[in-house]
Structure 1
Amino acid sequence: MFPLKDTVMGASTFFASALPHDVCGSNGLPLTPNSIKILGRFQILKTITHPRLCQYVDITRGKHERLVVAAEHCEKSLEDLLRERKPVSSSRILCIAYEVLQGLQYMNKHGMVHRALSPCNILLDRKGHVKLAKFGLYHMTAQGVDVDFPIGYPSYLAPEVIAQGIGKPSDHTQCEKPLPSGPKSDLWSLGIILFELCVGRKLFQSLEIAERLKFILMLGCVDDIVTVLAEEHGCLDIIKDLSENVTALLKKCLTFQPSKRPTPEELLHDSLFSEVSPLYPPFHKPAGLFSSSPRCANLTLPEDISQLCKDEDNDYLAERSVEEVYYLWCLAGGDLEKELVNKEIIRSKPPVCTLPNFLLEDGESFGQGRDRSSLLDDTTVTLSLCQLRNRLKDVGGEAFYPLLEDDQPALPHSNSSNELSAAATLPLIIRERDTEYQLNRIVLFDRLLKAYPYKKNQIWKEARIDIPPLLRGITWAALLGVEGAIEAKYDAIDKDTPIPTDRQIEVDIPRCHQYDELLSSPEGHAKFRRVLKAWVVSHPNLVYWQGLDSLCAPFLYLNFNNEEYLTVFSQMIAFHDPELSNHLNEIGFIPDLYAIPWFLTMFTHVFPLHKIFHLWDTLLLGNSSFPFCIGVAILQQLRDRLLANGFNECILLFSDLPEIDIERCVRESINLFRWTPKSATFRQFAQPARPPADGSGARSSALACLSADYQEAPRSDLSRDSIKLDDLKAEVSPRISAEDLIDLCELTGPSHSKTPVKKTKPSKPKLLVVDIRNSEDFNRGHISGSINVPFASAFTAEGDLIQCPATATLQSFKGRVVVIVGNAVKNTAAFAAHLVKNKYPRVCILDGGINKIKPTGLLTVPSPQI
């Protein structure tokens, strides 16, 4: 994206062709509206950036197939030069032609042609350089098939375009398209425009459209088209005075036969421009974040460095990209349709004025003529930035250039710094709509991402606070550690050869988030198909499953074993909410009935996209156990309804999941994550932990526990062992490793390598160890601070705890983590199950029992009584 400094933003509108409501496609589904198809094709246009092309920014879909396009715009065009009715000098003609050819050549490299080239679409920026506007109209409308108006202007259409005519398939289910125009057709249009600039006026003004087209086709009978045009319009003397290069240029552009006409690229390298081309250095698209090319800024400084800070009225906003400015403009209250309504480009009519015509018996007709509001209005409305600038008037220049190495808070110092600090504490949905706050976050993340991967640690740190929606996609990729020439690797994967899973993919895609306009477009379906096939082909040892379409790129690496995942989730419910766990087990409402789509698709199959974005902002910062906590947090939001209902009602409840407060869900899941011992969610085939984001260990926010200082240690003799799935299912409470137990108890010993944790002041223990061995074994050696509640005498026949001093201590610890330790796994699991039945939360059992602790030398022997 280029900065906005030499241009403005503009909006234009047009209608897509309406489809009949009673027609279906070959698959039996309703036809995709043409406006949706256009919206999908439009997306590639946002990636085409060149100094000679107006940058496309956004497209919105309104009522009755209306589309509104936002793009870079310039207030001057070649149309203004023609209004002066003065011939343009030969040197200026060559410069204009060269700049137009640069834009056309770049378009052609991306498989596009303009087809609508005219003086009003060749804009001039504030420095007088050319920018081609509306160059994507022909592409996004499928060469004009999806609209009811022709693409192009009759006076400038090439002869081969006119000869072909405008044909559209009458049957909307057909895939037949008219033969598309090639790059050479734009050269004819450019030749007519340059001819008009040379003579200082427009051609064909006195002729009707039919006569203009007829005259252009008749030019095929003459040898020198330039001379015939000059004679026809009485400007032969002007043409004779042109320089040889300009005359030769006109003749090459206005070659009747397309086979003899050069392409824009061929003409661009013609010797005609030998004096002009050195003025224009070759354009190199800046290297993307994930590429093999080095990324570097233009570090050229002026001879007098003091000139950098001389202008106190710098327009810092204009230095930002068009995309950023448009995003902030929308946050500040900008509305594309409203702007067009204010300029009377969009006019609404009362329903009574839109009644169709009807005929009387004598042939007289009454009613409205053709509604011209549905025709193409080529006007582009300039979008005013006054409201945005007023909103950002108190933002200082330092906000646009944050110091990344400064230890000060990320929020810059300005007259509104207090407001920014206050905004940082507001709910996420409000922060995302705050213009000033988003400006600061966008600028900061933009600088950090440009320094990726060297600033990976700071990206993690800032992502714990929030991620600006504008940069969410690229930030997610950075959080996942994506590096290198990813695009080249992706392109190298065979995504075209048929494979056995093609049929299932074709069935799944039309059902995946089809409420979203972009994902429901044919282009969206094609991207889904390519990404899924690329994953299947590049993972031959794995298989495609239903729901992978919802997960999709770039999080396909979250592969896990289905059944094991659900068993661990059941234990997490019992660990955090035993009352709810008991009820769900009693009615037989097991996770297999509702949670498979949750974890298989990381919740994308059950939540709309706008909620998934906020959820994944946090998911990517956590390890593979964090989804369990999200699942428990969802259940706790529905807790009252679940406890009050039986099996059938719960099934109905989850068949149409009620509204879930995602921000509350994230907040509560982080708290659940903090209370969950790391090894409690152990899975044999879980993704390995990522390396720490930084070495500071500082908890800068509530999300710190999800990443940098909450990493799994390398495996040791104290780590948790894998067990059979049947044994795992038989246990209600999760197991934790001896390693976790030692950390939670803050124990040290001669053979334990952990560094002691220094405590500045006494605090209430977070954990209680309950040793269920008999008293003799307990007295031979036990974990310091543990209590002895022998299994044989702990519960009544009904399963209630027997009252004694030890059980009284246990009850006083209700709500904290309780670890059951013993010799036999069967007894510890049964003891834990009894506690869960008695509604004790956070109960777990020590994996390996007391035998895992004995080699550490951490067991305590009570002093003999004197």
Structure 2
Amino acid sequence: YRRIREVYYLWSLAGGEVEAELRKTSLIPSTPPICSLPCVVTSGREEHGSGSGLVTHYDRSVLLLSLDQLRKRLEGMSVADYYPLTETSGGTMPGQERHDSSSLPLAIKEKDVEYQFHRMVMFTRLLESYPHSRSLVMAEAVVDVCPLVRAEVWAALLGVKGDIQEEYAAIDKDTEQLTDRQIDVDIPRCHQYDTLLSSRDGHCKFKRILKAWIGSHPALVYWQGLDSLCAPFLALNFNDEALALACLSTFISKYLHNFFLKDNSSIMQEYLAVFSQMIAFHEPALFNHLDSTAFNPELYAIPWFLTMFTHILPLHKIYYLWDTLLLGNCSFPLFVGVSILQHLRDDLLTFDFNECILMFSDMPDIDIQACIHDAVRAYLATPPSTYLRKHDHTYSPPTDVPPEALREPLSLDVLRQESCPHISAHDVIALCGLEYHALGYGGGARESGPTHSLRSPSSPLQRRAEVGRRRGKSGKGGRKGRKGVLVDIRSQEEFRAGHVPGSLSLPHQLAFQPDGSLTPSLPSSSLSSVRTSRVIIVVANKGKSGPEFARQLVRLRFPHVCVLHNGAAVLRSLGLLTALGEDP
């Protein structure tokens, strides 16, 4: 059998509408619109004499809703459709293969009765065996999330478990606190277009959950924006405050670690500095324009990241965004921010400082599906070490590579001074296919493929990108096809003494003309020919020459520019430099 909410969900998709059925039986009186106008409207906007209260009177009548239309839509379903296998001995999920309609747009799939039936049944069966089935829930969420079970799926993706009801009941949610006044001010302004959140019960639940979060996290404080973060979880778990709090707490712990400290300036400033470098990496023209107008991320992006975009997007778009965000790590929101700027790019390039301020104070409508697709593509096209942060508590460096091939997070001062990100030698080796030559990487036959990749091809966002390509979206981007080109800016003598075969020699003293353009040469022509298809890695000696050279390339609108951390010295220590004339 199916639960009543599942039947009602499918009945609604099949064309059922409760209000229409009630009107047919006159249980909802049909009143001419002119008769519903109020007789008196006071200066306080109170209405009198509209007669609207007539439809809210309790009625003992019972109305049976016909399921004939739903039965007709599901009459072709077999027993296997109602009880699909979720796992086989080979680890495959036959139900997923049999009912995969991922080529359809999401808006169409969410209205397709048969498709939603299969997704609902599959997710329900997987959730019944959670947490054992968490990896399978994540695999299904890569395709899409059934709206009916989104709350439970999000909880599974976040890894919520334990006796959350008892934990919630044990928290003091009634004692007056210093933050109560601010909470009372924030709640009536938070997503009040939503019927549940704007109700009196919604406000009470809002306050209890926020007070419970504050009480259960004594080391953290209430910042404006916490109410916006809470809104999606409360809307989805309106009748389960304990689960809403558990999801909120886990979400903040993973994606906003230490953002709610009393002094969060260092965490926020580092996040914004890395975000600025990601803009330069993916959108150099836009970065140059915003930099020239002094329109820095501090002026617009703090509400984005502090609320994970719930402050600027309506709930129905947040649901789609977080369906994907929960599949990624705590750095993925950086690329959502970059994607939003890309979608506003044409307007921003023509705006001055004041016009930019006005635009972000009243955010334009954004195609959220296109934004998500571009964010995933940018994330997969970016070497992980380029967005490494000191306060990323989830980062764990690989242990099977030489330590000199990795890099430490940059200080906040360096992040602010340099426009282009640093890249580790480990990522350079993976990008340029140097695993077979680098000391400490094991070597091996070339046919076996790289031994160290930037990101696991089976990661959830990698699989999400594959789903996007199957839907007919652009196949470019992602890790596939993105290679690195090394630009060695040391002197010709140093280049001849030792360089990576295939790298371009562009001594920084001679590389640019007085007007800032590249000096015509064979290496500069080669660099220009791959400007949009390769990650450009600047190899220099220690000092400022590398970051300055990279900044000039960004001024010339070269995308995907980064600086090799520790420069040529790290390549030498890994045995990757070859003297001119020697065999590699």
Normalised by the shorter chain, which TM-score bucket?
Answer: 0.7 to 0.9
In the alignment, what sits opposite 2:544?
A: 826
- The residue correspondences of 1:239-278 to structure 2 (distance < 5 A) are none
Please, what is the CA RMSD of the aligned residues? 2.7
Indicate whether 1:536 and 2:214 are aligned: yes
Number of the residue aligned with 2:430? 743
Structure 1 residue runs without a partner (length 5+): 1-318, 358-367, 414-419, 690-710
Give 1:393's aligned residue. Answer: 75
Matched to 2:295, the amino acid is F
Residue 452 of structure 1: CA displacement?
1.3
Could you say what secondary structure the match of 2:60 adopts?
strand
Residue 809 in structure 1 maps to residue 535 in structure 2:
no
- Does 2:243 match 1:556? no
> 1:591 is matched with which residue: 297, 308, 311?
297
Q: Which moved more, 1:496-505 or 1:378-387?
A: 496-505
The C-alpha deviation readout for 1:219-260, integer Å capped at 9, x for no partner, is xxxxxxxxxxxxxxxxxxxxxxxxxxxxxxxxxxxxxxxxxx
1:780 aligns with 2:492: no
Q: CA deviation at 1:723?
A: 2.5
In structure 2, the residue corresponding to 1:777 is in which secondary structure? helix
The equivalent residue for 1:465 is 143
Residue deviations 1:151-192, cap 9 Å, x none?
Answer: xxxxxxxxxxxxxxxxxxxxxxxxxxxxxxxxxxxxxxxxxx
Inter-CA distance 326–798: structure 2 relative to 1 (3 Å threshold): same
Provide the rounded CA distance (Å) in 1 between the counterparts of 2:118 and 2:430: 40
Aligned counterpart for 1:498 among listed residues 151, 176, 179: 176
Q: Distance in 2 between matches of 1:571 and 1:639?
A: 16
Give the one of 834, 855, 864 matched to 2:573.
Answer: 855
Tell me the CA shift for residue 461 of structure 1: 1.0
- Cα distance change, pair 712–355 in 1 and its aligned pair in 2 (3 A): closer
Q: 1:640 aligns with which of 339, 346, 354?
A: 346
- 2:314 maps to what in 1? 608
CA contact (8 A) 1:399 1:412 kept: no
SS of the residue corresponding to residue 528 of structure 1 reads helix
CA 1:454–1:835 in 2, change beyond 3 Å: closer, same or farther? same
* CA deviations over 1:568-608 (Å, ceiling 9, x no partner): 11111110011111111112221111111111110001000
Corresponding residue for 1:836? 554
Structure 2 counterpart of 1:768: 485
CA distance in 2, matches of 1:573, 1:354: 53
Shift in alpha-carbon separation, 1:353–1:677, aligned structure 2, 3 A: closer
Identity in percent: 49
Deviation larger for 774-783 or 464-473:
774-783
Alpha carbons 1:678, 1:712 under 8 Å: kept: no
Write the deviation string for residues 694-753 of structure 1: whole angstroms up to 9, x where unpaired. xxxxxxxxxxxxxxxxx9635944222122212111111111112211121221246324
Is 2:559 the partner of 1:845?
no
One-letter amino acid of the counterpart of residue 409, structure 2? S
Which residue is 2:187 aligned to? 509
CA–CA separation in structure 2 for the residues paired with 1:626 and 1:847: 22
Residue number among 788, 792, 795 corresponding to 2:509 in the alignment: 792
Could you say if the C-alpha distance between residues 556 and 528 of structure 1 is closer, same or farther in structure 2, counting changes exceeding 3 Å?
farther
Partner in structure 1 of residue 125 of structure 2: 447
Tell me what 1:725 maps to. 412
1:438/1:624 CA distance change after superposition, 3 Å: same
Deviation at 1:665, TM superposition (A): 0.6
- Tell me the amino acid that sits aligned with residue 95 of structure 2: A
Q: What per-residue deviation string (whole Å, max 9, x for no partner) do you get for residues 276-307 of structure 1?
A: xxxxxxxxxxxxxxxxxxxxxxxxxxxxxxxx
Q: Does 1:335 align with 2:22?
A: no
Change (3 A) 1:373 1:330: closer
Tell me, in whole angstroms, the C-alpha distance in 1 between the residues paired with 2:384 and 2:347: 30
Query: Paired residue for 1:519, among 191, 197, 203?
Result: 197
Q: Distance in 1 between matches of 2:556 and 2:204?
A: 54
* Corresponding letter in the other structure for 1:777: E
Offset of residue 758 of structure 1: 5.2
Check whether the contact 2:36–2:52 (CA below 8 A) recurs between aligned residues.
no
Letter in 2 for 1:631: G
Corresponding residue number in structure 2 for 1:660: 366
2-structure distance, mates of 1:522, 1:345:
26
List per-residue Cα deviations over 1:436-464 (Å, max 9, x = no partner).
10110010011111111211211111111
Please give the TM-score of this superposition, normalised by the length of structure 2. 0.82
More helix by share: 2
Q: Is the 8 A contact 2:383 2:427 kept in 1?
A: yes
Q: Against the structure 1 CA distance between its residues 853 and 616, is the aligned structure 2 distance closer, same or farther, given a 3 Å change threshold?
A: same
Task: Tell me, in whole angstroms, the C-alpha distance in 2 between the residues paired with 1:454 and 1:594.
Answer: 41
Aligned residue in 2 for 1:64: none
Which residue of structure 1 lines up, in the alignment, with residue 4 of structure 2?
322
Deviation of the 1:618 alpha carbon:
0.3
Task: Name the CA distance, whole Å, in 2 between partners of 1:652 and 1:352.
Answer: 39
TM-score, normalised by the number of residues in structure 1: 0.56
Note the 1:140-155 alignment, pairs <5 A: none
1:376 and 1:327 map into 2 onto residues whose CA distance is 24
CA distance, structure 1, for counterparts of residue 51 and residue 363 of structure 2: 49
Q: Is the 8 A contact 1:747 1:756 kept in 2?
A: no
Asked if structure 1 preserves the Cα contact closer than 8 Å seen for 2:272 and 2:301, the reply is yes
* SS of corresponding position for 1:791: coil
CA distance in 2 between partners of 1:468 and 1:369 (Å): 39
> 2: CA distance between counterparts of 1:369 and 1:468?
39
Looking at structure 1, the residues matched to 52 and 268 of structure 2 have their Cα atoms a distance apart, in angstroms, of: 60
How big is the shift at 1:349? 2.9
1:540–1:859 Cα change, 3 Å = farther
Structure-2 residue corresponding to 1:577: 283
Superposed CA deviations along residues 453-496 of structure 1, whole A, max 9, x for unmatched, are: 21121111111111101111111111111222122223223333
Is 1:487 matched up with 2:131? no
Pick closer, same or farther for the CA change 1:548–1:375 going to 2, 3 Å: closer
- Structure 1 residue 428: deviation in Å? 1.2
Change (3 A) 1:462 1:864: closer
Larger Rg: 1
* Separation in 2, partners of 1:434, 1:756: 50
Runs of at least 5 residues in structure 2 that lack an aligned partner in the other structure: 40-49, 231-244, 260-266, 451-479
Deviation at 1:371, TM superposition (A): 9.5
CA distance in 2, matches of 1:583, 1:751: 42
Counting matched residue pairs gives 509
Displacement of 1:782 in angstroms is: 2.0
Task: Please point out which of 49, 70, 87 is paired with 1:405.
Answer: 87
Partners of 1:535 and 1:556 within 8 A in 2? no
Paired residues of 2:86 and 2:93 also in contact (CA < 8 A): no
Q: Is contact 1:825–1:849 with CA below 8 Å preserved after alignment?
A: no
What's the counterpart of residue 435 of structure 1? 113
Partner of 1:131: none
Q: How far apart are residue 649 of structure 1 and its match? A: 1.6
Q: 1:389: Cα distance to partner?
A: 1.1
